[in-house]
Amino acid sequence: MFGALLRFFRERAGMTQDGLGAYVKYSKSQVAMVERGERPPKGQFVEIADDVLGAHGALLAAGVSLRASRFPAWFAEYADEEAKAVGIYMYANHVISGLLQTEDYARAIFGTHCPPLEDDEIEARVAARLERQQVLWRKPAPIVGFVLEEITLTRPLGGRQALKGQLENLLGVSRRRNVEIQVMPHKRQEHAGLDGPMILLETAERNQLAYVEGPSGGYFVSEHPELGNLFARYGILRAQALSPEESAKFIEQVAKAL
C-alpha cells in the first residue's frame, strides 16, 4: 500500500522514477522496487519523498506503520497459503525448488538476479526462503512432492561445492516420510510439463489451488477446468519421472561425480 501511494503522488507530481531517485539517492530500479513493495524505503526516503512530491504528510503517515513483507508483494499471498497447506506439489524445470534450496544455492540464485539486488536485499530474501522451509517440518506434517528436471541437478549455480551441498541436501530431505522427490530425465521423449513450472496446493479445507509463476510475478488458478488440468498434468509428470527410489540413486550418482 505504501508503494501504491508513493506511485500515486509521484505521478501526480509529474515526476519520473529517475527524477525521484535523484532526490532520495536511489536508482530508478530501486524506486520501482519500493513502489512494487519489493523493498522497504530506507534512510530519509519517506521524508524526502513526502516533501518533493507534495504529499503533505500522507507518505509520512503511511510510513509510520510501514512493515516490509519478507517476500515480494506478488509472492506474499502464495507464501501464506503454502505455510498452512496440507499438500504441496511442485514441478521445477530451471532451478531446484525453493523449499529444497540450501543457503549457498539460494544466495547464488538471488546473486544473479536481473536487475541486481542490493546485498541487504539478497540476505533478506535468502533468510525468507530458508524460513519458508519450516513447512517441511511442521506438525502435523504436510504431504510434499517434487518433480525436478534433470538439468536442475547439474546446473552449477554457486559453483561445484554449492551444487554438491545442494544435492546432498536433496538426499537428506528425501528421507523424510512426508516428502517425495522425483527426477525427470532429459531423455524422456514424452513430457507433460512443457508449458512450464507449477505449484499445486491442497488447503486445510481440502480445496485445491494452483500457483503459476513467470518472470514478472505469479498468479493463482482456482477455477475449473484449468485447475483440474494442472492437477492432471502433475499426475502424468509423476508417472513419467523416475520413482523416488530411482531418483535418490540418480541424485547420489550426480553428487559423487562432482
Q: pTM, whole model, 2 decimals?
A: 0.77
Q: Which three-class secondary structure state does DSSP give residue 181?
A: strand
Cα Rg for the chain, rounded, in angstroms?
A: 21
Cα dihedral: 55, 56, 62, 64 (round 10) = 140
Measured in whole angstroms, the distance separating CA 95 from the mean position of its chain's CA atoms is 11
Q: Which three-class secondary structure state does DSSP give residue 212?
A: strand
Output the nine-digit C-alpha cell for 224: 475449473
| Phi then psi dihedrals of residue 25, to 5 deg | 65, 40
Taken in order of first residue, the domains within the chain and their CATH numbers are 2-64 (1.10.260.40), 73-257 (3.30.870)
Decide: 142 and 86 in contact? Cβ < 8 Å.
yes
| pLDDT tens sequence across 34-69 | 998 777 788 899 999 999 999 999 999 988 766 555
pLDDT for the residue 38: 75
Location of C-alpha cell 522425483: 182
pLDDT for the residue 70: 66
| pLDDT tens sequence across 93-109 | 999 999 999 999 999 99
Question: How many Cβ atoms from other residues are within 10 Å of residue 57's Cβ?
Answer: 9
| Phi then psi dihedrals of residue 191, to 5 deg | -150, 125
Output the nine-digit C-alpha cell for 190: 514424452
| pLDDT tens sequence across 194-238 | 999 999 999 999 999 999 988 878 899 999 999 999 999 999 999
Location of C-alpha cell 504431504: 143
d(CA 244, CA 147): 10
What is the 8-class DSSP label of residue 243?
P
| pLDDT tens sequence across 112-136 | 998 888 888 888 889 999 999 999 9
User: Closest Cα to residue 4, out of 59, 77, 61?
Assistant: 59
| pLDDT tens sequence across 22-33 | 999 999 988 998
| pLDDT tens sequence across 150-197 | 999 999 999 999 999 999 999 999 999 999 999 999 999 999 999 999
Angle at which helices 160-174 and 103-111 pack, to 10 degrees? 130
Cis before 185? omega within 30? no
pLDDT for the residue 148: 98
d(CA 213, CA 134): 21
